[in-house]
Structure 1
Amino acid sequence: MKQWQRGLRYLYLRFVRLQATPEQISRGFALGIFWGMFPLPGLQMAIAVVSAAVVRGSKLAAAAGTWFSNPLTTLPLTAFNFHVGQSVLGREWEDLPTENLRSLDSFLALGTDFITGYLMGCLIVGLAFAVVSYFVGIPVVDAIQRRNAARRLKRRKARFYKPLKYRDRSQLH
C-alpha cells in the first residue's frame, strides 16, 4: 500500500511542478479529458499525448487528464454520454445495454444507431468537459505555480539569509 501512496505522491508532485505555462498545462489536461470520454481503452493516453504535442500542450497533463475516465467512472460516463447522444439526435431514451458492453464484438453488435448516438454523446460531453477544464484549469494552475514559487523563495531566503545572532562582546576577549 505504501508503494501506491509513494507512486501517487510522486506523480502528484511531478504534475504540480510542471515547468510550463498555465495555458499549456490546461491545454494538455483538456485534451486528456476530451480523449478520455471516448471508448478507446489503451489508446486514450497515447492519442491525448500525441494531440498535446501537436497543439503544444503539456503531454504529462494530457496523460493525467485521461485518468478522468477510469474503472470507477467508466459506466456512469458511458451512460451519460449515451443519453446525451440520444437526446441530441432526437431519439427516445433507451436503457443502456450494459451486458453488451463487455466485449468489442457485443458492442459492435448493438448496431449503428447505438454507436452513433454513443459517439455523438462522447463528442459533445468531451468538448464540454474539455472547455470547462481548460478555463477552470488556467487560474488553478497559475495559483498552484505562484504558491510553489513563493514557498521556494521562502526556503531559499531561509537557507541563505540566516538571521544574525548577536553575541555578547565580553565573550570575544
Structure 2
Amino acid sequence: MFKVDETPQKKAVSVAYGIFWGIFPLWGFQLAIALPTAALFRLNVPIVFFAANISIPPMIPFILYASFWTGALVWGGNHGDLSLDKMGDLDVIQTNIYQYTVGAIVLSFVAAFIIGLATYLVLYKRNASR
C-alpha cells in the first residue's frame, strides 16, 4: 500500500487522484470513495488521503469560489452574486447549485491534471538529479 520506492508516475497519479476527489462535489463521501478505489487501482493510499484533504475547512471557501467561477466560465456567464465573502451563505450556494456543480467537476479534473503534472515534474527532476 505504501512504498517509498514507487515511481514518480505512480506518486503523481496518486496525488492527482486525491486532488480530484478532494474537489469533486460529493462532500462527505470523497474519502469514502477515494480510498477504496485508490487501493483497487493500486495507488499509494496515504498519498491519495493527504491530497484529498485539500478540502479542509480553511480551503472550502476558495474551492467553492473557484468552482463557481469555473462553472460560470463553462456555463457561459455568472448566474449570481459570487463574491468571496458570500461563499458561506447557503442561499447563494443553493441559487447557483448547477453552476457550482459543473464548475466543481471541471475544476476537479483541471486541478488534478495540473497538480499531478507538477508533482510528476518535481519528482522526476529530483530523481534525475540523484
**TM-score normalised by L of structure 2:** 0.77
- Identical pairs, percent: 26
What amino acid is the match of 1:67? N
Between structure 1 and structure 2, the one with the greater Rg is: 1
Displacement of 1:138: 1.6
Q: What whole-Å deviation, never above 9, does each CA across 1:31-81 have from its counterpart, x for those lacking one?
A: 110111134444222322223233332111111111222211110110110
What amino acid is the match of 1:38? F
Question: Which residue does 1:167 correspond to in 2?
Answer: none
Displacement of 1:140: 2.0
What amino acid is the match of 2:32? A
Give, in whole Å, the separation in 1 of the partners of 2:35 and 2:4.
15
Displacement of 1:125: 1.0
Question: Which residue does 1:121 correspond to in 2?
Answer: 103
What amino acid is the match of 1:44? Q
What amino acid is the match of 2:102? M
Give the match's secondary structure for 1:86.
helix
1:78 equivalenced with 2:52 (yes/no): no
Query: Displaced runs of 4+ in structure 1, greater than 3 A?
Result: 39-42, 142-147
Give, in whole Å, the separation in 1 of the partners of 2:127 and 2:30.
27
Aligned length: 125
Contact 2:79 / 2:99 at 8 angstroms: preserved in 1? no
Displacement of 1:146: 6.7
**TM-score normalised by L of structure 1:** 0.60
Segments of structure 2 that go 5 or more residues without pairing to the other structure are: none
1:24 equivalenced with 2:13 (yes/no): no
Contact 1:26 / 1:61 at 8 angstroms: preserved in 2? no
Contact 2:71 / 2:101 at 8 angstroms: preserved in 1? yes
Displacement of 1:130: 0.7
- Which of 1 and 2 has higher RCO (CA within 8 Å, sep 6+)? 2
Task: Answer with 119-128 or 49-58: which moved more.
Answer: 49-58
Summarize the Cα distance change of 1:140–1:94 in structure 2 as closer, same or farther, 3 Å threshold: same
Give, in whole Å, the separation in 2 of the partners of 1:58 and 1:95.
40
Cα RMSD between the aligned structures? 2.7
1:100 equivalenced with 2:121 (yes/no): no
